[in-house]
Amino acid sequence: MAVHNVTLIRGDGTGPELVEATRRVLEAAVGKFGSSFNWDVVEAGVDIMETAGTPLPANVLESVRKNKVALKGPITTPIGTGFRSVNVALRKELDLYACIRPCKSYVGVRSKYDNIDLVIVRENTEDLYAGVEYDLDTPEAQQIIAMAGGKIRTDSAISIKPFSITGVRRIIQTAFDYAIENKRKKVTAVCKANIMKYTDGLFYRIAREVAAAYGATFAPGTPAAEKPDPTLSAYAGKAAGIVYDEWLVDAMCMQLVQKPENYDILVMPNLYGDILSDLGAGLVGGLGVAPGANIGVDTALFEATHGSAPKYKNQNKVNPTALILSGFLMLKYLKENEAAAALESAIQAVIAEGKDVTYDMKPDRNDPTAVGTAEMADAIIAKL
Which one from 97, 106, 129, 214 is the annotated catalytic residue? 129
Which one from 274, 332, 356, 378 is the annotated catalytic residue? 274
Distance of alpha carbon 12 from alpha carbon 192, whole angstroms: 36
* Nearest one of 151, 153, 102 to 293, comparing CA atoms: 102
Which one from 72, 92, 104, 192 is the annotated catalytic residue? 192
N residues, the chain:
384
Which one from 250, 298, 335, 355 is the annotated catalytic residue? 250
Sheet holding 300-304, edge to edge: 36-42, 3-9, 69-72, 300-304, 291-295, 98-104, 117-123, 265-268, 186-191, 243-248, 217-218
* Nearest one of 254, 252, 291, 285 to 269, comparing CA atoms: 252
Active site residue 12: no
Active site residue 192: yes
Active site residue 129: yes
- Asked if 56 and 25 touch (Cβ cutoff 8 Å), the reply is no
Put residue 369 in one of left, alpha, beta given phi > 0 → left and psi -120 to 50 → alpha: alpha
In the chain, count H helices and then E strands: 12, 13
Residue 374: partners with Cβ closer than 8 Å, 6 or more residues away: 17, 20, 21, 316
Active site residues: 129, 192, 250, 274
